Amino acid sequence: MASSDRFKPVRRVAENRERKAAKSFGDAQQRVQEQEGKLQQLRIFELEYQKRFEDTSRCGMASSQLQEYQSFMAKLQITIKQQEMMVEQSRRESGSKKLHWQQKYTRTQAIGKAMDRFSREEHLARERNEQKESDEFGLRKGGPREI
Protein backbone atom coordinates (compact mmCIF):
# COMPACT_ATOMS: atom_id res chain seq x y z
CA MET A 1 0.00 0.00 0.00
CA ALA A 2 1.31 3.41 -0.95
CA SER A 3 2.21 5.85 1.81
CA SER A 4 -0.35 8.36 0.55
CA ASP A 5 -3.08 5.68 0.73
CA ARG A 6 -2.15 4.83 4.32
CA PHE A 7 -2.66 8.47 5.25
CA LYS A 8 -6.23 8.68 3.86
CA PRO A 9 -7.94 7.39 7.05
CA VAL A 10 -5.71 9.64 9.17
CA ARG A 11 -6.66 12.62 7.02
CA ARG A 12 -10.37 11.73 7.25
CA VAL A 13 -10.17 11.59 11.05
CA ALA A 14 -8.26 14.88 11.18
CA GLU A 15 -10.81 16.55 8.88
CA ASN A 16 -13.70 15.28 11.04
CA ARG A 17 -12.04 16.59 14.18
CA GLU A 18 -11.36 19.92 12.51
CA ARG A 19 -14.99 20.16 11.37
CA LYS A 20 -16.22 19.45 14.91
CA ALA A 21 -13.83 22.01 16.36
CA ALA A 22 -14.97 24.60 13.79
CA LYS A 23 -18.62 23.96 14.66
CA SER A 24 -17.86 24.24 18.37
CA PHE A 25 -16.06 27.54 17.72
CA GLY A 26 -18.98 28.83 15.66
CA ASP A 27 -21.42 27.87 18.41
CA ALA A 28 -19.23 29.68 20.97
CA GLN A 29 -19.16 32.80 18.78
CA GLN A 30 -22.93 32.71 18.56
CA ARG A 31 -23.20 32.48 22.37
CA VAL A 32 -20.95 35.55 22.67
CA GLN A 33 -23.25 37.48 20.35
CA GLU A 34 -26.32 36.35 22.29
CA GLN A 35 -24.78 37.35 25.62
CA GLU A 36 -23.67 40.72 24.22
CA GLY A 37 -27.19 41.27 22.89
CA LYS A 38 -28.70 40.57 26.31
CA LEU A 39 -26.23 42.97 27.92
CA GLN A 40 -27.09 45.68 25.42
CA GLN A 41 -30.81 45.19 26.09
CA LEU A 42 -30.23 45.52 29.82
CA ARG A 43 -28.25 48.74 29.34
CA ILE A 44 -30.94 50.18 27.08
CA PHE A 45 -33.59 49.26 29.65
CA GLU A 46 -31.51 50.90 32.37
CA LEU A 47 -31.27 54.15 30.39
CA GLU A 48 -34.99 54.12 29.60
CA TYR A 49 -35.90 53.46 33.22
CA GLN A 50 -33.54 56.18 34.39
CA LYS A 51 -35.09 58.68 31.95
CA ARG A 52 -38.58 57.70 33.10
CA PHE A 53 -37.52 58.27 36.69
CA GLU A 54 -36.07 61.69 35.87
CA ASP A 55 -39.27 62.69 34.07
CA THR A 56 -41.44 61.44 36.95
CA SER A 57 -39.27 63.03 39.65
CA ARG A 58 -39.65 66.50 38.09
CA CYS A 59 -43.33 66.40 38.97
CA GLY A 60 -42.63 65.25 42.50
CA MET A 61 -42.53 61.80 43.96
CA ALA A 62 -43.26 60.07 47.22
CA SER A 63 -40.39 58.73 49.30
CA SER A 64 -41.72 55.19 48.84
CA GLN A 65 -41.51 55.60 45.05
CA LEU A 66 -37.93 56.86 45.41
CA GLN A 67 -37.03 53.83 47.56
CA GLU A 68 -38.65 51.46 45.03
CA TYR A 69 -36.71 53.11 42.21
CA GLN A 70 -33.41 52.87 44.12
CA SER A 71 -34.06 49.24 45.00
CA PHE A 72 -34.97 48.36 41.44
CA MET A 73 -31.91 50.19 40.03
CA ALA A 74 -29.63 48.38 42.50
CA LYS A 75 -31.03 45.02 41.34
CA LEU A 76 -30.70 46.08 37.71
CA GLN A 77 -27.06 47.09 38.28
CA ILE A 78 -26.35 43.66 39.80
CA THR A 79 -28.02 41.97 36.84
CA ILE A 80 -25.94 44.07 34.43
CA LYS A 81 -22.72 43.14 36.27
CA GLN A 82 -23.68 39.47 36.14
CA GLN A 83 -24.39 39.75 32.43
CA GLU A 84 -21.03 41.46 31.86
CA MET A 85 -19.38 38.47 33.55
CA MET A 86 -21.37 36.13 31.29
CA VAL A 87 -20.13 38.05 28.25
CA GLU A 88 -16.53 37.78 29.43
CA GLN A 89 -16.91 34.08 30.16
CA SER A 90 -18.40 33.53 26.71
CA ARG A 91 -15.54 35.45 25.10
CA ARG A 92 -12.94 33.37 26.94
CA GLU A 93 -14.70 30.17 25.91
CA SER A 94 -14.86 31.37 22.31
CA GLY A 95 -11.13 32.19 22.39
CA SER A 96 -10.37 28.73 23.72
CA LYS A 97 -12.55 27.10 21.04
CA LYS A 98 -10.85 29.20 18.37
CA LEU A 99 -7.41 28.06 19.52
CA HIS A 100 -8.57 24.43 19.54
CA TRP A 101 -9.96 24.78 16.00
CA GLN A 102 -6.75 26.46 14.77
CA GLN A 103 -4.72 23.55 16.14
CA LYS A 104 -6.96 21.02 14.38
CA TYR A 105 -6.81 23.06 11.17
CA THR A 106 -3.00 23.18 11.31
CA ARG A 107 -2.83 19.41 11.85
CA THR A 108 -5.18 18.74 8.94
CA GLN A 109 -3.10 21.00 6.69
CA ALA A 110 0.13 19.26 7.73
CA ILE A 111 -1.35 15.84 6.99
CA GLY A 112 -2.57 17.10 3.61
CA LYS A 113 0.88 18.44 2.75
CA ALA A 114 2.50 15.15 3.77
CA MET A 115 0.03 13.24 1.59
CA ASP A 116 0.75 15.56 -1.34
CA ARG A 117 4.49 15.05 -0.90
CA PHE A 118 4.08 11.26 -0.73
CA SER A 119 1.86 11.32 -3.84
CA ARG A 120 4.44 13.36 -5.78
CA GLU A 121 7.22 11.00 -4.69
CA GLU A 122 5.13 7.96 -5.64
CA HIS A 123 4.31 9.51 -9.01
CA LEU A 124 7.97 10.25 -9.70
CA ALA A 125 8.94 6.70 -8.67
CA ARG A 126 6.32 5.26 -11.08
CA GLU A 127 7.61 7.45 -13.88
CA ARG A 128 11.21 6.37 -13.22
CA ASN A 129 10.15 2.70 -13.20
CA GLU A 130 8.18 3.10 -16.42
CA GLN A 131 11.13 4.85 -18.06
CA LYS A 132 13.48 2.12 -16.85
CA GLU A 133 11.19 -0.62 -18.18
CA SER A 134 10.83 1.25 -21.48
CA ASP A 135 14.60 1.60 -21.79
CA GLU A 136 15.14 -2.11 -20.98
CA PHE A 137 12.46 -3.13 -23.48
CA GLY A 138 14.10 -0.96 -26.14
CA LEU A 139 17.47 -2.53 -25.50
CA ARG A 140 16.08 -6.08 -25.73
CA LYS A 141 14.06 -5.43 -28.84
CA GLY A 142 16.54 -3.36 -30.73
CA GLY A 143 19.73 -4.61 -29.22
CA PRO A 144 23.05 -4.71 -31.13
CA ARG A 145 22.71 -6.26 -34.58
CA GLU A 146 25.36 -8.14 -36.42
CA ILE A 147 25.84 -7.51 -40.11
- Specify the pTM: 0.73
pLDDT, one tens digit per residue, over 28-38 is 999 999 999 99
Question: Mind listing the domains of the chain with CATH numbers?
Answer: 3-140 (1.10.287.1700)
**What is d(CA 113, CA 7) in angstroms, rounded to the nearest whole number?**
11
pLDDT, one tens digit per residue, over 96-145 is 999 999 999 999 999 989 888 888 888 888 888 888 777 777 777 765 55
**107 versus 6: which is more confidently predicted?**
107
The predicted pLDDT at position 132 comes to 79
**What is d(CA 97, CA 7) in angstroms, rounded to the nearest whole number?**
26
